Each structure stands twice: as structure tokens, then as C-alpha cells.
Chain A
Amino acid sequence: MSEEQKAEQLAYLSEEIERLIDRVATDVREQRGEHEEQRASSFVIYLLRNSDKSPMVSLRLRESGIAPDDISGTDGFSALKHYCERLSLHARVEDTIRPSREIADPCLGIIVDGWQ
């Protein structure tokens, strides 16, 4: 992957991540819940997807020269991270997500947690 393609991919990821700002507060409120029976959920994983809606396989990104730290350094992730911090939540990039048993390769996602 050329530097230009890498930059394009990072820009795409940055936008995808920044979009999460619009929904993270609502999603966390739903998962945290006001009722005790909802407490089992202690984090939300946002599985990032390619433009064709397939999950982003971490290995493929690494092969393209994109490491989790590169994603953490995007403007989109910084904006999400700061937004989460204002809500006393934590956001981080995680490239070890196995969305289902059918998908053997770990995928890229954003973890939001920090509530009890």
C-alpha cells in the first residue's frame, strides 16, 4: 500500500470513529442501564467495517502498514477520546476483537468502557 493509500485509509477510519461521537452517549446509557439486570454489560465494542461492510481484519491493516497507534493518532479518535473523557468514560483502539466464531481473524474495533 502506498503512503497515499495509507493516508486515505486512515482518513476513512478517522471519519468512521468520529461518527461514533453522535451515538456513544446513548449507547452507553442503554448498556449501563438504570436497572440492575443490565449490569452484565460492562463495555461496548464498536466493530469498524470496510466500505463494503465487512469487518476490518487487523492483520490486513498491519500488512498495509497501519498499526493501532496510527489509528489512535487520528483526529477522529482524539475527538472521540476527549468526548468520552468528558463523560467519564474510556475509549481505546482494540485490534483483538473476534466478532463471532465464524470469523477466525481478530478485527479492529473501538472499546468504550469505564462504568461500573
Chain B
Amino acid sequence: MTPQEIATILDEHEKWLSRAHSGARANLARANLSGFTLEKVNLKSAKLSGANLEKTILAGSNLSNTDLFCAVLDGADLRNADLQNADLRGASIRNVAFKGANLVGADFRGGTLMFGSDDEDGERKSPTSNQQGADLSYSAMPNAQLAGAHLAGANLSGVNLRKADLKGADLSGCILVEADLSGADLQDANLKGAILDNTILKHANLSGANLDGCDLSAADVTGANMVRHEDSLPFEVREVLNMHYVWIREDGRLGDRAILKGTDLSFIDLSAVNLSGADLHGANISGGNLSNILLVMSDLSSTNLKGTNLSGATLEGINLANADMTEADLSNAIIAPVDLKDSKGKVTGRKWPANLSGAKLVQANLKGADLHNANLAGADLTGANLTGADMRGVNLTDAVFQPEQLDSAKTDHKEKNSD
């Protein structure tokens, strides 16, 4: 195909797009456009199925709603191109520059190649059967708009997806090995069964994302927002929580106290709710947002609260014995004793202190927390920030900490000295 022929097709296509009763839709199916510079061209809704676009420069081009079915795009330059709702099924898309490209609603799903007639041995499937989705490995897609894109099963190994918009995208079963998704927005994305070995998810927004079957142990999720909403929980758990809220509201006359022993509540957003009196013994609430929650007299013994946000929480009289609060944020939390009341709701004068015995508070932030009279016997406070924390009357028997950690805390010793 000569450059003049391509230019004519593009002109005719522009006319066709302008609905000027002239021109013709560009049909470049199977065309060999490898290495051509087609920067900023308008190929909206064009037919490019099976076209060879290897190393073609299409930066800034409009390829929205384009049929790129089974096209070869290896090494192409698609920076800032508009590929909204493009059909990229079965396309070969290795090492493509997609920086800033708009791929909203684009379909990258793979297909299956079969022989139309059986082999002598009855074999139908071709050995090149591609059931795994598109191969986008090592492509550059920073800042790309991929909201709602169909990428199920795609190979995204080593892909640069920094700050990409992947809201609501289908990434189920994707291979994201060594992909860089730093700062990417994956809100409500489906990552079910995705392989996340050495995947960088630093400061990514994974709020509401489906991570079922994902092993995040080898992924870097530093600073990632992985909070999920209550409606992502199983029906039975939601029911238990709802009945508890009724129990609180109706002062115990209706509803039921929540018993969620050993339940997986990781990355849950339960900020500012009232779960006072709940039994959450052994539950996994790691990475959750429990800021400003009320957990008065609740049982959270042996819970996993690693990295959980408990800032401003009211934890009076709580049982946190042997809980793991490594790197948890407990700033300004109230972990003070609670005034016990009788059956008529009258204050008895007795106080019930919080139990943090044996708790792991390594690198926890307790800045400004009220811990007075709490039992911290055997607790590990290594590296915990106790600046401004009220540590008066605290039992620190066998607790692990450096004396200087208490320098900026409020303690009995300092009270006496100031008297």
C-alpha cells in the first residue's frame, strides 16, 4: 500500500465521518501499515482487523470504536491515542507505548482458535489456541485511561501502568507479574484470580476492588488504599452487623450483639460505626479503616489489626489482649477505662480498664492516645510513637519498649515531678 493510497483512504474516511453523503469508511483490514507514521489521524470506527501495525506511529490518533480484531500492534506508538471502545480482541499488543492513551471500554479479551475440520486424530483445537487474553507484556501504559476495559486473562507482565485509570476494569485472571501500578486507580476493578507476584501497587486505590483468590504477599502495597465497603462482605456477615446496629439503637431490646469470631474483615471500611460490645475475637481486620469507630467493651483479643486505621476510635474497656496492631494508627484513640453501669443504666462507680496485655504494637502510632490505666503487660511497643499519649496508671510489666519512648508521653512520673 502506497502512502498516497493511505492518504486517500484517510480523506475518504474523514468525509464519511462528517456524514457529507460522500467518502467511505476506511477498510484497512489486513493492510500492512507496519512502520508508517499515522500521527493524529482520525480512524474512528475504521476497519483495521488483521492489519499489521507493527511499530506504526499512531500517537494522538482517534481510534475510538475501531475494529482492531486480531491486528498486530507490537511495538506501535499509541501514546495519547483515543481507543475508547476499540475492539482489540485477539490483537497482538506487545511492547506498545500507551502512555496517556484513552482505552475506556476497550475490549482486549482473547479468543480460541480451532480447526474448522478435525485432524486425523480428532483434534480440534489449534496449538496456538489463545484462551488467556491479550498479551500486553512490557507495554508502557502510564496515565492510560482504562476505566471499564475488558482485560480478563491478559498478560500484563512488566507493564508500566503508573497512575493509570483502571476504575471498574475487568482484570480477572490477569498476569500482573512485575507490573508497576503505582498510584493507579483500581477502584471497583475485578482482580479475581490475578497473579500479583512482585507487582507494585504503591499508593494505588484498590477501594472496592475484588481481590478474591489474589496472593498479595509478594506484592508491594505500601500506602495502597485497599479499603472495601460493607456491601462487599458476605450476606451473613452484613446481616450480623445490621442486627448489631439495631441492638445498639434499641438499647438491647431488639437485634443481636455481633459475634464475628475469626471473621475475615480485612481492608473493611467500618469508620464511625458503633460496634460496642461486639465479639470479634480472632478476626482479621488488617488494613481496615476503623477511624472514629466505637468499640466500647468489645472483644478484639487475638485479632489481626496490622496497619488498621483506628485513629480517633473510642476503645474504652476494650479487650485487645494478644492483638497484632503492628503499624496500626491509634492516634487520638480513647483506650481509657469505661464506667460500668448497672442493669438500669446507672453508673456503679466501678471502672473497667482496657486490656492490651501481650498486644503487638510495633511501629504503631499512639500519638495523643488516651491509654490511662490500660493493662499493657507483656505488650511489644517497639518503635511505637507515644508522643502526647496519656500513659498514666498504665501497667507496663514485661512490656518491650525503650524508656526514651515515654519522654514525650504523659506519665505518672512526670505528674509527680510537676507537683
Contacts and interface: CB of A to CB of B under 8 A. Distances in A.
A, B from the same assembly: yes
B227 to A, nearest CB: 24
A20 B124 CA distance: 11
Interface in A1-40: 16-17, 19-20, 23, 27, 31, 36-40
B145 interface: no
Contacts of B172: 36-37, 39-40
Given A40-B153, A41-B131, A49 B117 contact: yes
Interface stretch (B17-25, B103-111, B403-411): B103-111
A42 B89 contact: yes
A96 B114 contact: no
B291 interface: no
Interface in B224-276: none
A49 B118 CA distance: 10
A45 B113 contact: yes
Contacts of B117: 16, 19, 48-49, 53
Contacts of B154: 40
B392 interface: no
A75 interface: no
A16 B29 contact: no
B134 to A, nearest CB: 9
A46 B126 CA distance: 9
Contacts of A46: 114-116
A83 interface: no
A59 to B, nearest CB: 9
A110 B117 CA distance: 12
A39 B174 CA distance: 11
B113 A53 contact: no
B112 A31 contact: yes
A98 interface: yes
B404 to A, nearest CB: 54
B168 to A, nearest CB: 15
7 contacts: A31-B112, A40-B132, A45-B90, A45-B111, A48-B117, A96-B49, A98-B72
Interface of A: 16-17, 19-20, 23, 27, 31, 36-49, 53, 58, 94-100, 106, 109-111, 113
